Amino acid sequence: MRDFILIAGPCAVESLDEIVGIGKSVRGSGATHLRYMLYKPRTRSDAFQGVGDVGLEWAEEVKERTGLALVTEVLDPRDVEKVSNYADVIQIGSRNASNAALIREVGNVSSEKNMKVILKRGMYHTLSEWEGSFGYLGMEKSNVWMCERGIRTSTSLDHSRNVLDIGAICVLKDKGYTVIVDPSHGTGKRELVERVAIAALSGGIDGLEVEVHFDPIHAFSDPDQAIIPSEFDHLVRNIEKIREIYLS
């Protein structure tokens, strides 16, 4: 899709074969970037923490075989320089959305290497706080993809993990930010992903980041929110159709 960032892939890289397989599939549907998550921030330390550095060794091969640019989340400022040698876009996740040390380091390395950065909104962030974190990057608005990923509220907990804040998207776009949306975390329920993703188009977003897995219920993390490749393809077709109207 012209002028649209389309990041797709599993919550976490689980094996080389699996990530190449998903990469090829989502590339076929029109993805521009692969979610290539090696270090997983989890609530509990005894949960799966990602494959870690071994994934960096696979990076070259994955890029070659899938033809996609790689998005990798970093958790530790000591990893930023290293990861920047393999990944194309560095992501700062929701749990680290107020982690000034990490954000500064990512800003420095990415500025130097002219890389894009994804700055996810904290699940509890006001817009001012999110913009405050953007300020720690020291980067241009065009180089930072502000990613709305839903906020947690007591009112929504019985039907969705988070509530996507369409109003926040609109306000950020009006202020000149580059804005993408993660409808997977933004809902936490795969049956809502497509409808919420398409709703977000109305805010004039610049892209989407979507969890796609061959077998979501057996995924190592976030089993409830990943969609399967055929659903991703359906989603992309509908986005194309609706964007055409908006852009016409």
Binding site for a copy of itself (CB under 8 A): 41-46, 75-79, 95-96, 98-102, 104, 122-129, 132, 135-136, 138, 151-160, 163-168, 170-171, 174, 187, 189, 191-192, 195-196, 198-204, 241-242, 245
Return the structure tokens found at 59: 């990076």
Query: Of 78, 69, 133, which is closest to residue 109 (Cα–Cα)?
Result: 78
Report in angstroms how near the CB of residue 98 gets to a copy of itself at its nearest: 4
Cβ–Cβ under 8 Å, residues 70 and 58: no
Report in angstroms how near the CB of residue 158 gets to a copy of itself at its nearest: 5
Report in angstroms how near the CB of residue 28 gets to a copy of itself at its nearest: 24
* Three-class DSSP category at 58: helix
Cβ–Cβ under 8 Å, residues 12 and 215: no
Looking at the Cβ atoms of 129 and 233, the one nearer to a copy of itself is 129
Report in angstroms how near the CB of residue 188 gets to a copy of itself at its nearest: 9
Looking at the Cβ atoms of 35 and 125, the one nearer to a copy of itself is 125
Strands (E), 107-177: 116-120, 144-148
- Distance, in Å, from the CA atom of 153 to the CA atom of 125, rounded to the nearest integer, reads 12
Looking at the Cβ atoms of 34 and 169, the one nearer to a copy of itself is 169
Radius of gyration of the chain measured on its C-alpha atoms: 17
Looking at the Cβ atoms of 23 and 55, the one nearer to a copy of itself is 55
